[in-house]
Amino acid sequence: MNFQFIDWVFILGYIFVVFWLAVKSRDDMHEGELKTPDEIAQEKYMANKSLTFAESICSIIATEVSALTFIGVPAYAFKNDFSFIQIYMGAIAARLVIALVFLPRVYDQGLTIYEVMAKSTGLPSGQRTVAIFYSLSKIVSVGVRLFSGSIMVATFFGVNIYMGLTVVVFMTLIYIQIGGLKAVVRTDMLQMALFIIGGLLAHYIIPQTSNQSWGDMMSFAHAAGKTSFFNFSNPWPFIFGIMGGFLFDCSTHGVDQDFAQRLTANKKLRNGQYAIFFSSFISISVGLLFLSVGALLWVHYQTHPMPDVPNADHLFPYFIVNYFPLGLRGIMVAGVLAATMSVLDSTINALCATAYNDIFPNRDPKKMEFFAVTDSIVIGLLILGIAVIASKNDGLLLLGLKAQSWTGGTLLALFSSKVIFKKAFHYQLTPISVVGAYIFGMSGVYMNAMVLQWDWNLNVYWGFSMGMIFLKIYATLKPAKPVQS
């Protein structure tokens, strides 16, 4: 493996920096000795509310991009066009709503967003039920993201995909335990820089390999309709994409603990508001960067033999391993590792926070550190299991997004009824109200996806609408005392 020495230098260098940042974050946070479980939780899951604007916005981008963007977005553009950018466009309005409406109502109100939902008229069992549904859906959607990143790892190291999955999970679990949320956010900053550099390198290397100029290749792709995102003869896909992006983003970045803790852990509310809004514009730029990679690959393979790969999701990893120069190849592998670990670390941290605060609040506080480790391991193994199942599917980008769309609308309905429109929904958050909302919400998604077979971007709307209908009926039949605001 001597010919890969310089690649290994970059990869091992990246891993070293990640763990160094984790150790430094731990040391920075331990200014005094922690005395209570609540203080430990604040450090691990809220970084003692020390996040800056830069840390917050970089962490948001790194977490949402994931290896699905690095690998799945080029595959989408290769097979289709640039229409996926519609979702990013819809997210601009969504993040403005999150900044101005959602965040002021949850900032400084609790460790998790599900605690805030149950604060006024809720039972601990209702809070636990919401957290369980969220955790299960999060594990499923992140499992798909984990698999997509492991394709690159397995391809480069010449191991099977399951070994690649295991290595990524193991490394992530270790550095999470060292530094908590502060380590997650700081490594996310490094990881964001790496995968953007990787995308820019692809724009240089693919034309070089094809012996064509970047401009000629993009012009050819444009003429073939590969850069199209709007069809005047049929504008509905564009409209559905914008609509789907709006409510879908409200359900992910607004009421998902994974993203919410990056906002509520800021030093100031205004920092979190700026971070979530301006992140939408960076997201669009990153999306266009990797959609263009897919267009360049499509043009390249018009004049070169298609490789023998299982599906389009493997095209970009194959190209990197076989055509990128030594050193640059190592940077790309490190970039995919970064994109994969940035999603996995934040997810495990968020799910451990809900386990501690919402699902198992009555565990022995003296054993908190032990439970934090065991929770991380169990969550990591569950995500690993979902990733193995995802390895049997094609079209990873849409698979990951569709998994979230099945439950995201209902979670948004529960949040909206208890936090945003609480005066109109005087009910107590109980297991019955939560389970009923999910049954109605997922039935609505089933109607959209399986019966009507309408655009999948509408899944969140069906889930949200049906969830709100059930909760209004429940509030009418079993009203709680009105909330005094």
pTM for this model (two decimals) = 0.86
Half-sphere exposure of 362 (CA within 13 A, CB side): 3
The CATH classification number of 2-395 equals 1.20.1730.10
> Cβ-count burial of 301 within 10 angstroms (0-12 exposed, 13-18 middle, 19+ buried)?
middle
- 3 state SS of 177: helix
The pLDDT of residue 419 is above 90 = yes
- 3 state SS of 122: strand
- 3 state SS of 76: helix
> Cβ-count burial of 35 within 10 angstroms (0-12 exposed, 13-18 middle, 19+ buried)?
exposed
- Output the pLDDT for position 284: 92
Q: Distance from CA of residue 298 to its chain's centroid?
A: 27
* Domain layout of the chain by residue ranges: 2-395
Rounded to 10 degrees, the C-alpha dihedral 204/60/129/459 comes to -50
- 3 state SS of 35: coil
Distance CA 225, CA 78 (A): 11
Distance CA 50, CA 346 (A): 16
Q: What is the mean pLDDT of residues 231-240?
A: 78
CA quadruple 342, 409, 280, 114: dihedral sign: negative
List Cα–Cα distances, 164 to 76, 158, 361, in angstroms. 23, 9, 35
Tens-digit pLDDT profile for residues 334-380: 877 777 777 788 889 899 999 999 999 988 888 888 888 899 999 99
Q: Distance from CA of residue 240 to its chain's centroid?
A: 21
Element (H, E) at 362: none
- Output the pLDDT for position 166: 83
Confirm if 471 and 439 have CB atoms less than 8 A apart.
Answer: no
**Start-end of H helices in 224-268:** 236-249, 257-264
Tens-digit pLDDT profile for residues 160-206: 777 877 888 888 888 777 766 777 777 778 878 887 888 899 999 99
Q: What is the mean pLDDT of residues 271-282?
A: 94
- Altogether, the residues listed in the chain come to a count of 485
